[in-house]
Structures are given as C-alpha cells and as structure tokens.
Amino acid sequence: MKGWSTTATKTTSKENAVAVENLVKRLVDEVVLVGNVKASPTTNDYNCMLESWARSGEGTFAAERCEQILTQMQTEYETGNSPQIQPDLGSFKIVLQAWKHAGGKSLSSFRAQRVLDWMNSLYNKGKNDLALPDQMCYDTVLQSWARNSHEQAPIYAELLLSKMETLSQTEYISLVQPRTLSYNAVLGAWGCASLSLLSSPSSFSSKPSTTSWQRSCDILNFMEKSYFVEGNKRLEPDRVSYSLVLKTLARHKDDARAAPKADNILKSIEKNVKSGDLSWKPETLLFNTVMGCWARSQRKGAYKKTRSILDRQLNYYSSLNGKTGSENCRPDVYGFTTVLSSCATESGDRTEKLKAFNVAVSTYKELIKNSVEYGSPNHVTYGTMLKCVTKLLPHNSKERQRWAKEILGEAVKNGCVGDMVLIRLREIGSPKDYHHLMQGYNKGTLPEDWSRNVKERNDYRRKVSGKRAEV
C-alpha cells in the first residue's frame, strides 16, 4: 500500500490511488462482514490512501477526494466507531498540500484555508488533540494564497500571517512562529496583486498603504526591524524577500515613487552587506531589477540613475576580486542593455539627449571591450543601441548614418541581425539610406550568417524574465 501511494509514475497514479482505496475498503469489509478485528485499517493506512490521491495529479478532484476521506476519518473517530483512524497532523498536512497543488484557481486557497480553520476548531473544542496546526500547515496555506489570482488573495495571506504573529505570542509559540519563508509567501502574493488602489488597512504598518508595492514594503520594513533592530534571526530578509519586493516595484512603472524606492532598497542592501549585517551577497538579479525600474519609469534623467547602479555593481563585483559569491553578482549583458534602453527613452531637451547618447555609447563600448567578462552583446543590445541613435541624435545629423553603419557592422560580424535591428535601421533615414546600409539585402534575402546567433524572441523573453532586465 505504501509503495502504491508514493510512486512517482504519473501515468498510473490515478490507478494507484484507486488501488490503494480498494485495499482499504477490503480491510473495512473484512472487519464489518467477517468480524476480523485484526484487519481494522489504521491512521497510517488512511494516510497512504490520502497520499495516493494527493499525488495522483488529478487536481481539484483529487483534493476533493482527500478532504472527503479526511472528513470521514474525523467523523468515525468522533463517534467512537473507529478510534484507530484518528486523523493525525500528517493527515491534515496531506490534504492541505493537495489543495495547494490542486490548481483550481481561487477555489483551492479558500478550501485550504477552510481546512486550516477546521483544524484549529477541532483542537480548541477538544475533538481532536492531534489537529493543532504547526508552522508548516500555515506556510502551506500562505503559499497557496501566493499562487492565487483572486484579487483578495494578498489580503487573506497578510491576515493569516498576522494571525501567525499573534499566535506566536501565546503558548503555541514554538509551533507557529512565522519565518522568512512565511513572509516571502505573502510578498509573493502582493507581487501578483492588482495595480489598482487598495482600501484595506495594512497589518504591518499604521500608515495607510494604497498600492501593492507599499504593502510589500510595509512587510519588508517589519522584517528588517525584527532582524536588524530586535535581533530576530528567524526573519532575516533573504535574496528572495528583496527580489519579490523589487519585482513588485518594477510593475508600477507609472508610479513616480517606485523607481527611487527600489533604488533606496538596493542601497540599503549594499550598506548592510558591507557592514556584515546580512549573511548573503546581492546578486545580478537585484541590480538588474532596479535598473529596470529606472528604465521603465521614463523619467527625465533616469538614464543617469540606471548607469549609476551599473557602476555600483561593477565596483562591487571588482571589490570581491573572485571571492566566494562574486559570480552571483557579475554584471551581464542584460544590465548593460537596460542602461541603453534607459538612455533611449530620455525625453529631455536636445542637450540632455546628447548627454544620454554619450552615456549609451560609453556603455555600449564598455560591454564590447569586456564581452569575455560580462557576455557578448546580443541582437537586442544592437537593436537598443540603434534605438538610441534614432531617438537621441538629430534627424539631420550625419552621426546617425555613421553610428548605424558601425553598429550594423558589429551585429553582422557577430550574427546578431534580428528583427529589432532591422526595424531600427529603417528609422535611421530614408528608404534609400536603409537600402544602402543593408547592402541591397532585405529581410527575406538576409544572409544566414548575419542572424546565426539570433535567438527566438520567446526564448529571450524567458531569459530576461529570469534576470528582470529592461530591454
């Protein structure tokens, strides 16, 4: 029975669940019909049945069946008919996990929450002394809310986390103390929240917070205070904590406060790492995310902020001098390309645009010079640099043609002439200029060697999503 319930073979997992359930039914029939008391199924037998359904891959149906079985176990135990199948903590955990992985959109989290509330009720009413939820039970439900697309999911997650903090002050302190993982689940929930204004009060700040990024920052501030000021080691903000908050800030590109806030958070990380107050080092992802915040903000002068972050990253990476962890914060092509993107969106006057172009040129050349260390420019890098030419240089400037020719030459040499490069080349000048730059070729007749290293657009987006770069 145990073997069937824990098999990793998905193609027969539903059949395994049915087989285990039939075995348990045979044991029950042996007791009821034959009177063989020794055949009475135990809690372990029922847990095997629960596990087999939870692992069956049948989504909501499997979770429903798990909850039905658990309810039956509790009823049989309460009535005294089958005291040997008292649901234990493991029984409830299996059902919570089943709902967490059910994939039933908003339904699954509400059902998981209901099971958790039922556990507390059973224990408090003296109906099951093994039903008291522990930290893992709460974390499972929190993670379920974090995956939920329901507009109220972050609020429910935050309320549950607040309840954990309250309970941790009671006699159950060792059981339900929330940890960094618990807080990260709620940060993840806010990261997926609607960008619209909020009306519910924050559980972690006395000040009103009307946006999801503010609620994320409230939670992060609470974690930082608990760890840095109060010395609570279980709430040290980790890379995931900061990454989730910065990702949430990056979504609010139309909020003028978002980019400066992200930058301040990154600076505080750098400061705490330097002073030794954090046990980990900032990684490339964090720097790229904040650069992306500035690039997306489209604020005048944002390119200066973006470039300054890259400079800080370069200096920090250089200071590590190959020490442990240095590889994790190595500047990469996505960060450099983000600076180019930020320059290209500069909306200031002609003088400011020329300054932005000069920053773009120096960044572009620096990447080419250090391509072995930071990665070679890709088709998006070249396309973004051409965008800088079209957006920042005057239309009547001869520099447009010169730079277009130079950038295209590099792209051709490295096999990086993709759609973005071709689109930006058309914006350089007249159709005649485009024909001249392309040496008479067009998209349909492009030499294969010119685009040999161009990756599919979807592949690039997936990689950028991992790096949180703005391109």
Nearest to 237 by CA among 394, 97, 246, 369: 246
Confidence at residue 458, expressed as pLDDT on a 0 to 100 scale = 52
The Cα angle at residue 267 between residues 264 and 271, in degrees rounded to 5: 140
Residue 1 pLDDT grade (very low, low, confident, very high; cuts 50, 70, 90): low
Check whether 33 has a pLDDT greater than 60. Answer: yes
**Interacting residues of 446 by C-beta distance below 8 A, sequence separation 6+:** 417
Copy the structure tokens of residue 165. Answer: 């903090």
Check whether 3 has a pLDDT greater than 60. Answer: no
Interatomic CA distance for residues 357 and 387, integer angstroms: 10
Residue 198 pLDDT grade (very low, low, confident, very high; cuts 50, 70, 90): confident
pLDDT digits (tens, 9 = 90+) for 81-111: 899 999 999 999 999 999 999 976 678 999 9
Confidence at residue 468, expressed as pLDDT on a 0 to 100 scale = 40
Burial level of 14, CB count in 10 A (0-12/13-18/19+)? middle
Confidence at residue 469, expressed as pLDDT on a 0 to 100 scale = 37
| pTM for the full predicted model | 0.87
pLDDT digits (tens, 9 = 90+) for 103-138: 766 789 999 999 999 999 999 999 999 999 999 999
Q: What is the mean pLDDT of residues 243-247?
A: 98
Q: What is the mean pLDDT of residues 226-237?
A: 94
Residue 169 pLDDT grade (very low, low, confident, very high; cuts 50, 70, 90): confident
Confidence at residue 168, expressed as pLDDT on a 0 to 100 scale = 80
pLDDT digits (tens, 9 = 90+) for 362-410: 999 999 999 999 999 999 999 999 999 999 999 989 999 999 999 999 9
Three-class SS of residue 103? Answer: coil
3-state helix, strand, coil in the chain (%, to 5): 70, 0, 30
Place of tokens 């965008």: 387
How large a percentage of the chain has pLDDT more than 70? 92
The chain-wide mean pLDDT, for the chain, equals 90
Residue 29 pLDDT grade (very low, low, confident, very high; cuts 50, 70, 90): confident
Confidence at residue 103, expressed as pLDDT on a 0 to 100 scale = 78
Interatomic CA distance for residues 73 and 465, integer angstroms: 45
Task: Give the residue with greater pLDDT, 285 vs 194.
Answer: 285
Lowest-confidence range among 6-20, 80-94, 153-167, 184-198? 6-20
Check whether 205 has a pLDDT greater than 50. Answer: yes
Interatomic CA distance for residues 269 and 286, integer angstroms: 10
Confidence at residue 10, expressed as pLDDT on a 0 to 100 scale = 44
Interatomic CA distance for residues 334 and 340, integer angstroms: 10
Dihedral, CA atoms, 226, 231, 236, 242, nearest 10 degrees?
50
Residue 51 pLDDT grade (very low, low, confident, very high; cuts 50, 70, 90): very high
Confidence at residue 464, expressed as pLDDT on a 0 to 100 scale = 45
pLDDT digits (tens, 9 = 90+) for 414-469: 999 999 999 999 999 899 999 999 999 988 899 999 999 998 565 444 444 444 43
Residue 2 pLDDT grade (very low, low, confident, very high; cuts 50, 70, 90): low
Check whether 149 has a pLDDT greater than 90. Answer: no
